[in-house]
Every structure is written in C-alpha cells, then in structure tokens.
Amino acid sequence: MKFLNKKIIGLAAMLLVLLQTAAFAADVQVTGVRASTSAEKVRIVFDVDNIPVYKVSTGNDGRQILLDFSSAADRTKLTKLMVKDDFVTGISFLNTGGVFRTIIDLKQPGQYQVKQLKNPNRIFIDISKEYEKTTSQEMAPGLVQTTYIRQDGRGMLTGYFVDVDTSRYALRPALANGVIAGRGTVSAMSDANQAVAAVNASYFALDGEILGLTKIDGQVVSTTYLPRSAFGVMADGTPIIGTVDYSGQVKTKNIAVPVSGVNCERGENMLVLYNEYYDTNTGTNEYGIEYVVKNNKVIAVNTANSCIDPGCVVVSAHGSAKDALAGIKVGDKMEIVQNIGTPWDQAPQVLGVGPRLVVNGVVQVTAAEEQFGGDVANGRAPRTAIGILPNRHVLLAVVDGRQSNSIGCTLTEMGELLKKFGAVNAVNFDGGGSSELVIGGRIINKPSDGSERSVGSALVVCAK
C-alpha cells in the first residue's frame, strides 16, 4: 500500500510538471510570419500574442542566423518562408521542446538587428544586405558633394567626397587661430578663411605643433624630419602629390649652420627658425641665443623669448649651434637658405602628410617606406585623404569610423575607395577623431569623438 501511494504521488508529480510545461510552452503564440525586401535589407516580421524571451546567434561562419523564441508555440504551421532575394537564400522554422526556432540562411555574413513592437505585439529582424548607394548634390558651381554608403560582410561604411574644380577654387593650408601654437576646430578655421569647404589636414602635437612640412603662401611654416608625402598647389592652381624633404642653412661670414626645424620646440644643440606663423613670441628659455633677422641682416640679438614681428625671422640656437654662431652682432649679414626640392620650391602651398594611397592609378600604400607607426598604418579607422582626378579637379575624402553606421577604412581600403571615385593619385591626411569635413560652415560627417576635435591645421577651399 505504501509502495502504491508513492507511485501515485510520483505519477501525480510528473503529471503536474507536464501540465506546467504545457502551460509554459503556450505562453507565447506565433500567429503570423512574413518577410519584405528592399535594396538595403530583408525584414522578417513575427506576429505574437505576447513578447517572447528570445535569443539570437549565428552559425555556418556567420552565414546563418538562428532566432529562438522561448516558451513559444507556432500557430502558423509554416516550415519554410519564401523570399525573393538573392542575399537571403532560405528561411525555415522548427518548433521543438517549447522553443520556436527560425533559421535564416545567407549568401554571406551580414549585419542584423532584432527589435520588438507592442500594440500589436511583433518581433522583427532586419538583415542588412550587401549594397552600395551614392547620392550627390552640387553645393555651388564647381563643388559637388557625394555621400557614399556601403554594406558588405565587413560592415557598413559611410564616406563623404567633395569634387573641387580647381579653376574656380583655391586650396591652401590654414593654421588653427592663424598660428602654429595652439589648436582649433576645422569649422573655426573654415569660418576664419571664409572657406566653402574644409577638411582636417596635418598630424600635430598636443601643443598644436605641426608634424610635417607645411608651406603657406610661399613661406615654410613647419618642417619634416624625414622624406614624406605631401599635397601641393602650384601657382597656376595645378594640384600635385609626391615626396617632399626639407633642408635649410643659416649662413653668415664663413659659417653655415644646418637648420633643425621651423616653428617647433628648440631642443639640445638645435638651430630653429621662428617666423610670424609660429606665435607672437618664440617662448624659448635663456639657455640659447636668438638673432632677429630682417632682409638678411641681424637687427637684434636676444637671449630668450624674442618677439616675432611680421617680415622677421628669429634664428634660435642652442648648444653647439649657439657656439657656431658666437660673435654675430647687430648689423651683420645672415642669410637663411631653405630647400624642399622640385617642384615643391615653386609651389606656394604645400601640406606634408602621408602615406601615399594611390600612385599613377594604382593603389599603393607607402606607410612602411615613410616609417609611419601602427597608430596610422594598422586597422580600420576614420580617415581623411585627398586625391587628384584626371581633369585636374581635387577630391576631398572623409570616411567615418568607430561607430555603428561606419566601420572606417584601412589605408588600402581608403586607397581603393579613392580610386573607385576616380583619383589617379592620392595621399592620406591625419585621421581618427580628427577626421572632419565642413561645407559652408556645417559639419557634414560624424566625428568619432562625438564632437569636433581641436586640431593643428586644415585644408581650406576658397572661391577664387
């Protein structure tokens, strides 16, 4: 009798569990499934009486999406759903053990999002397809802006391009606040120069010092320490891209002392030139000597922190460079010779950046040759670049990165993109959170910092 009672109790417990499971499995009823397609995505919609607990995962190396609804019963009795789309190759359903599973087979891995709606209750999954979309508009005569959106197995990319007719517009570097010292936003530099468009340009240090050779209106305002790529504009407006290197000397009496840099911090045993593009003063310490030069003649000698007047250059020397110039006094001749090679010496505007991305119509990244570090050369990131088109127009390019709507580009991918849009030669600018495009004073892209970053310089486009 005791054994029978135990058996009855056990059966009753099992029955209770089965009843609870059956009731639990029926918590959610899937009452309808349908699919729709567009150029950008495939959407699958599930009509449900209650919002289920769901889990989404991938299989088959990302070419299969599995969407599971827990405690769900299928009232549609569908085993497959037909969809007229090449990207989604099949949609099938399984309903076992209280789980309603949807199996979505893809031609190749794709991005997806699962969302829910209430009143009426629905679950839907959007699967982004591989596609490209371009939209263009003429912002002004000779200035055409194109937005490019691409979705593929790598993710979504959003890029912005500006075709600039160089017969109508002049391009030149612009410094934050008009000087090397300090930083400012691209939009502020655009406004200050009354530019129709602008992009961020040079690499820079935290204090605003430009890292790369820059020449503005014929005057060298910063230098590079090794040969690197540059973008330049000749006097007739012809754009050029190539390799630029700097050499300079200060000559006086029978002495020639090499120039270590222009408008940069003076270090040990260095000779640095400071001109009006640096700041109002050199900001140097008392351990050197400074010669204020105008029209190849020394007009003042100071120990430190000399004023930089328009039309003057301050020759600031320390250590061995200071010793080499010992004895120079006011009234002595001092000649400053600077050379950046052909055709760069004749180009009034030069912007030293790099590396090269496209060379004579071929994607060719020169990051290793130019000794760029991994922060520039490796991985996908927001990028800024410039290309030259066959018709002598210039192509400004900015791609967003580090955000959901844009994964950014590797340097090679950036080169491929510029070639796709017609560039026969192209060079990379500073990127990352600095990447920004401004047109008519308005920020066009989405900087990855979430707001404008203060940078050292910009390339501005101004009406002739």
The 10s digit of each residue's pLDDT in 11-68 is 444 444 444 444 444 589 999 999 999 888 999 999 999 999 999 999 998 889 999 9
User: Which H or E run contains 337?
Assistant: strand 335-339
Structure-block tokens of residue 325: 């110039």
Tell me which CATH code domain 27-128 carries.
2.60.40.3500
Give the CA diameter of the chain.
Answer: 126
Exposure string for 407-431, b = 16+ CB within 10 A, e = fewer = bbbbbebbbebbbebbbbbbbbbbb
Q: Which amino acid is at 444?
A: I
Q: Per residue in 237-282, pLDDT tens?
A: 999 999 999 999 999 988 999 999 999 999 999 999 999 999 999 9
Residue 9 has phi, psi (to 5 degrees) of -65, -40
Q: Per residue in 284-317, pLDDT tens?
A: 999 999 999 999 999 999 999 999 999 999 999 9
Q: Per residue in 73-95, pLDDT tens?
A: 899 999 999 998 888 999 999 98
The per-residue pLDDT for 26 is 54
CA-wise closest residue to 232 among 377, 341, 358: 341
DSSP 174-185: EEGGGSSSS-B-
The per-residue pLDDT for 381 is 98
- Is residue 5 predicted with pLDDT exceeding 70? no
Q: Where are the domains of the chain?
A: 27-128, 137-245+343-463, 247-337
CA-wise closest residue to 248 among 315, 195, 197: 315
Per the CB < 8 A criterion, the answer to whether 388 and 422 are in contact is: no
